[in-house]
A and B are shown apart, each in its own frame.
Chain A
Amino acid sequence: MIIQCRCLTKRYPADQGMVAAVNNVNLVVAQGEFVIILGHSGSGKTTLLSLIGGLTEPDSGEVLVNGVDNWHQSDEALSDMRNRTIGFVFQFASLIPTLTSLENVLLPLSFGRVPRGSHEQAREILARVGLGDKMHAYPGQLSGGQQRRIAIARAFINQPAIILADEPTGDLDEETENDILRIFRDYNEHGTTFVVVTHNVHLARTQKNPRVLEMRQGTLLEQDGRFA
């Protein structure tokens, strides 16, 4: 199992006291699975994703990635895991506006643990997402869809085993959405594990064998209503 969440809970302060954004969630994801988590806005999807990615520390429970508990390792090891094992696709493009497309894609490699000379690899990925001719463009010169594709290329540059995607097709036109989902399917067919949170119920139809879960008020359910 590449991801295991056990009794995962995360609470945030709210007007009416502490509210559980993620409430006692258990989830097991196998290598190469494509997991889609559906849910309305505020159901806790993004929080769950950040817990899995080691961006947020849970109040209770544990997250194991490749068998290692995220929060029982040093900051350095956790950063290393985020860098090498996980690729993040944000809800918004989150590109650095003062870097070119190529420099943005190369950012995870600048970390220094991956050998240099990866420009060729970055160019290939940019070509794969259809932006081979926009390598030296700045984010401000690109459309929203193109920025999203640059962010996806950045997520794949380290060839991570897991992709965590938060609303990857939100606010995109149909053509760009299809492009992105095709890229996801290609990578998934080559063994990359995906956990995608979205409110787009049609997304499941674009993938071969997706496993669809639903998040309701912090609780994770199988599509038939059983607890995941």
Chain B
Amino acid sequence: MDSGLRKHLNILDYTLLSLWRRRLKNLSILLVFAGVIFLVASFELVTQALTETADRALRNVPEITLQRLSAGRQETVPLTYMERLRGIFGIREIVPRVWGYYFDEVSGANYTVMGMDRRRMPGGKEMDLALARGDMPDPEERGAAVIGQGVETVLRQKGGSLLSLFRPDLSQVSFEIAGVFAPATDILTSDLIVLHPEDARDLFRIPSGMATDLLVYVANADEVSTIARKIATLLPDTRVLTRTQIRKTYQVVFGWRSGFASVCLLTALTAFVIFAWDKASGLSPEERREISVLKILGWETADILAIRFWEGLLVAGLAFVLGCTAAYVHVVFYDASLFRPVLVGWSVIRPDLRLLPTPELANFLLIFCGSVLPYLAATVIPAWRSASVPAETALSGM
């Protein structure tokens, strides 16, 4: 065998022996390190999965949503605004929407109630495909509701088959459950109740001829910003939201939450690296003596660094693989049960969606660079400092 190759095999052999000799210390570092990487990687994967899910769900959102503001507060929009908008070239369809939040005092849950005429919505038929069971009610049919998984869970807990809600004057109104949205759409539909527009108006006591907002569908996607600008000019008391802006809001929400958590976790990671540095830079007298003895016996500085490098790489690399694998299993197979409350929301009804992240090399590379490389530096640099000094001190027993 080539002597250079044998030398490296012997160095690896010595490294494994050295790791084994300090197995308790190395095992504890490995476990702590793997735990920190698991947390960081889990957040990365959950954030990515949520952003992707939200992105998919937002594909059917109208290009423009029009709301009316008065004194900075949202007001209902007169349906007469629709007529004024028809003059703008490029608008394909305008659909009025009635929506609001409904607080259920019994369960403590907040529902999102929405009423709209899906016949007029491009892609409205696709809503049938988003149902796990039942059908979207006939557009003319009153008294029927389609609900999300979360609402259904609350309803089941109450033991009723009808959805009973209260108007502002506390008079009760009940709805038949016509269908339930699929879990895949949970992030947007979990707390949703879809009603006939007139039923929604009746529930919230919104006057006839008014809507909460107008959904504007545009024929040419390139014209969205131009049309949005024209609407804002034509109706100065309105707020014009484009789909891009809504998507950005979602990204900011998830980005903020994951960013907040990431900062906490990166702090933990940094603390670990500082701890490792402190541990490694403060080489014990035994470790320093070992390095001196090895040098005297003919080991080169490079050999000692190679041992330290392999030791660090094996511990940190194994921790990285373990941490990332555990994070993937945690997110994909256990739906990130540890972090869902932080990232998905604090509402009583938490979306029960399945998370399917697409592992991206760049994300793992970032975690690798932020964890394994600093640990390697924390291991090798002090050993280099120690190995670079003359070894004659070992002659006199230090």
Contacts and interface: CB of A to CB of B under 8 A. Distances in A.
B297 A82 contact: yes
Among B3, B10, B302, B390, chain A packs the most CB atoms within 10 A around the CB of: B10
Nearest to A51: B392
Contacts, number: 94
Contact of A111 (B17, B303, B390): B303
A76 B294 CA distance: 14
B296 to A, nearest CB: 5
Interface in A106-124: 107-108, 110-113, 115-116
B298 A80 contact: yes
Contacts of B394: 90, 94
Contact of B397 (A90, A110, A111): A90
B143 to A, nearest CB: 80
A154 interface: yes
A83 B395 contact: no
Interface in B47-71: none
Nearest to A90: B395
B395 A112 contact: no
A166 B395 contact: yes
B11 interface: yes
Contact of B298 (A79, A98, A99, A103): A79
A142 B390 CA distance: 29
B229 interface: no
A80 B295 CA distance: 10
Contacts of A50: 390, 392, 395
B298 A108 contact: yes
Contacts of B3: 112-113
B19 to A, nearest CB: 11
Given A55-B391, A56-B392, A112-B10, A94 B293 contact: yes
B300 A76 contact: yes
Contacts of A53: 296, 392
Nearest to A111: B298
Output the residue of B296, B303, B391 with the most chain A CB within 10 A. B296
Nearest to A98: B21
A91 B10 contact: no
Interface footprint category on B: 20 to 34
A91 B14 contact: no
Interface string A58-88: 0000000000000000011001101110001
Interface string B365-392: 0000000000000000000000000111
A171 B177 CA distance: 94
Contacts of A88: 296-297, 395
A187 interface: no
A82 B303 CA distance: 14
B289 to A, nearest CB: 7
B396 interface: yes
B229 to A, nearest CB: 71
B300 A91 contact: no
A79 B299 CA distance: 6
A169 interface: no
A111 B293 contact: no
B7 interface: yes
A108 B390 CA distance: 18
A79 B392 CA distance: 13
A88 B292 CA distance: 12
Contacts of A113: 3, 7
Best-surrounded residue of B14, B294, B298, B395 (most CB of chain A within 10 A)? B298
A111 B150 CA distance: 66
A4 B310 CA distance: 39
Nearest to A83: B298
A55 B390 contact: yes
A5 B21 CA distance: 41
Contacts of A95: 293
Nearest to B22: A98
A127 to B, nearest CB: 21
A90 B396 CA distance: 7
B396 A111 contact: no
B8 interface: yes
Contacts of A83: 297-299
Give the top 3 A-B pairs by smallest Cβ distance, nearest first: A83-B298, A112-B7, A92-B397
15 contacts: A47-B392, A55-B296, A55-B390, A75-B300, A75-B301, A90-B396, A90-B397, A91-B395, A103-B17, A108-B297, A111-B7, A112-B6, A113-B7, A166-B395, A166-B396
Interface of A: 46-47, 49-50, 53, 55-57, 75-76, 79-80, 82-84, 88, 90-92, 94-99, 103, 107-108, 110-113, 115-116, 154, 166
